[in-house]
């Protein structure tokens, strides 16, 4: 089982404790491999050139997969039974590898947790605007008479090469302040030709068994990251009236680049209630549901439909176990990334930090994930106890 970590394509590392695979390997009796890849500017800056082609992070992942495929037998693994699994950005990456000629033949099955490659098309077409902003911040580009940054990239790349790392890092921080998810794979690109929706059934995919799903309230974390002063971990705006919430969503839509008329129509359509007045937490969860639907739920269902058109066996799950030691406020329920600790066996590794339910759910998920990795089938191991493992 090969894990690709998440982190908005900007942060993350296999040295983070929650990605430690020892419990999954021990309790699931599998070989677990975790991989690194370049992130942020270094992984996903796109200058459409041989020197900075974009999607360098995806190329890194593909190189790691090739090494694993060629060498895993020396570690007790089977190159003909490799399952990729990952959450968030890692999950989106897996979806692209399923359709990329460099990687699609290097693994057998896929588990996609809280991330779909079928996000809105706009999410994968930001490469030029992000590149322009970055190059302008570090003083390597002045748009002037150029219609696009891609007109003459070599002087820009030479300038970037001479820019101190600290300055590059500060520029990345500035970009992230305006948009918590600025760095994404770019399509079309050298790594992947088309958005997934444009591939037809004549394209062969090698993975015939897929497990995919999302958490109960994915959007709560995205809402918190996008508006950290309004939606804190433990507090939400004191909205009590439906119209207040709808107006707030309109402002969010305009902030993200939508026309006000489009944002207003979206708010009126998607933020509805039988009550004109309600608890602020209820309203916060409704707004979070909107984020969930746009960023996770709908793209997941769209990808499932796509996979079924290739005659795959695709399983869909919903994760709804709130951990005893959750660091998020009650309004956030079970949010983005909450499932990974259970899959990696944290409740079994640190039993005093969790309760019996948490430990049991972790046991079930380890058994389910590893059984799927071995067989391609999902069997829910209900009524397991820690000791039955």
Residues annotated as catalytic are 88, 218, 336
DSSP state of 168: H
Look at the block and give the residue holding tokens 């058994």.
367
Question: Residue 163, SS3?
Answer: coil
Question: Residue 42, SS3?
Answer: helix
User: Exposure of 96 by Cβ count < 10 A (0-12 exposed, 13-18 middle, 19+ buried)?
Assistant: buried
Contact indicator for 349, 7 with CB cutoff of 8 Å: no
Contact indicator for 105, 84 with CB cutoff of 8 Å: no
Question: Residue 55, SS3?
Answer: coil
Answer left, alpha or beta for residue 140, where phi above 0 means left and psi between -120 and 50 means alpha: alpha
- Side-chain half-sphere of 187: how many Cα atoms within 13 Å? 24
Angle at 286 between CA 282 and CA 287, to 5 degrees: 120
Question: Residue 154, SS3?
Answer: helix
């Amino acid at each position: 089982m090969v894990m690709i970590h998440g982190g908005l394509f900007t942060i993350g590392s296999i040295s983070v404790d929650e990605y430690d695979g020892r419990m999954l390997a021990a309790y699931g009796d599998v070989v677990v491999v975790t991989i690194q890849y370049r992130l942020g500017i270094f992984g996903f800056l796109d200058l459409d050139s041989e020197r900075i082609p974009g999607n360098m992070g995806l190329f890194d992942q593909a190189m790691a997969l090739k090494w694993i495929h060629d060498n895993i037998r020396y570690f007790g693994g089977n190159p003909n039974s490799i399952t990729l699994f990952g959450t968030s950005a890692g999950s989106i990456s897996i979806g692209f590898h399923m359709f990329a000629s460099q990687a699609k033949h290097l693994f057998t099955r896929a588990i996609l947790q809280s991330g779909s490659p079928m996000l809105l098309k706009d999410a994968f077409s930001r490469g030029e605007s992000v590149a322009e902003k970055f190059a302008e911040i570090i003083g390597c580009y002045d748009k002037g008479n150029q219609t696009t940054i891609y007109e003459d990239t070599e002087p820009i790349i030479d300038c970037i090469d001479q820019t101190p790392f600290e300055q590059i890092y500060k520029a990345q921080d500035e970009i992230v302040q305006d948009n918590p998810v600025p760095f994404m794979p770019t399509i079309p690109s050298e790594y992947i030709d088309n958005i997934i929706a444009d591939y037809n059934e004549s394209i062969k995919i090698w993975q015939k068994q897929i497990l995919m799903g999302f958490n109960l309230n994915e959007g709560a974390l995205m809402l918190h990251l996008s508006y950290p002063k309004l939606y804190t971990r433990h507090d939400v705006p004191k909205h009590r009236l439906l119209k207040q919430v709808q107006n707030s969503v309109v402002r969010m839509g305009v902030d993200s680049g939508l026309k006000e008329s489009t944002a207003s129509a979206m708010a009126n359509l998607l933020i509805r209630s039988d009550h004109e007045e309600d608890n602020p937490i209820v309203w916060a969860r409704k707004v979070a549901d909107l984020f969930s639907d746009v960023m996770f739920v709908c793209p997941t269902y769209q990808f499932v439909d796509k996979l079924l058109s290739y005659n795959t066996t695709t399983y869909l799950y919903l994760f709804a176990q709130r951990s005893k030691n959750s660091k998020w406020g009650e309004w956030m329920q079970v949010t983005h990334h909450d499932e990974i600790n259970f899959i990696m066996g944290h409740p079994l590794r640190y039993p005093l930090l969790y309760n019996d339910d948490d430990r049991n759910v972790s046991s079930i998920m380890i058994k389910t994930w590893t059984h799927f990795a071995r067989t391609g089938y999902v069997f829910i191991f209900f009524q397991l106890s820690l000791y039955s493992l």
